[in-house]
Amino acid sequence: ANGAPGGGTPAFLLGLARQPVPELRHAALDVLRAAAGQRPGGWGVLAVADPGVVALLRRRDALNSKLDREWQFSVIENLMKNPSRSLLPPDLLDSFNTMLKQGPFYTEQQVGEMQTMS
């Protein structure tokens, strides 16, 4: 009831990560972070590779507070440290590598926007 379509643990955690209560979001992201670092076998990598979880991790605007972004980034960090990360599709690995290099607070600049002082 609380998660994304498809059910299961990733969907449940995803539902919690989308809640307005910071403690619930951070707890869900902490469980995902721990799963992403599990070795051997790659079960944690595959759990975090759930399409809904991947969408949450890839969207930099999905979580707004500094702490939210740090938790989101910690999941990606643990995932990319895991030797089983090779189970992920190459495009997803590339995307997460880019995010890892850019850091948790990266924002894309809008081309053509001019800032003026008032």
Contacts of 24 (CB under 8 A, 6+ apart): 16, 17
In a domain, 112, yes or no: no
**Residue 31: what pLDDT?**
96
In a domain, 3, yes or no: no
Domain enclosing residue 75, as ranges: 8-102
In a domain, 107, yes or no: no
Query: For 68-83, what is each residue's pLDDT tens digit?
Result: 999 999 999 999 999 9
pTM above 0.75, yes or no: yes
In a domain, 89, yes or no: yes
**CA of 38: how far to CAs of 6, 41, 45, 82, in Å?**
23, 8, 8, 7
In a domain, 116, yes or no: no
Query: For 21-53, what is each residue's pLDDT tens digit?
Result: 999 999 999 999 999 999 887 899 999 999 999
In a domain, 97, yes or no: yes
Domain count, the chain: 1
Given a cut of 80, whether residue 117 has pLDDT beyond it is no
Query: For 1-29, what is each residue's pLDDT tens digit?
Result: 444 455 689 999 999 999 999 999 999 99
In a domain, 24, yes or no: yes
Percentage of the residues of the chain whose pLDDT score is greater than 70: 86
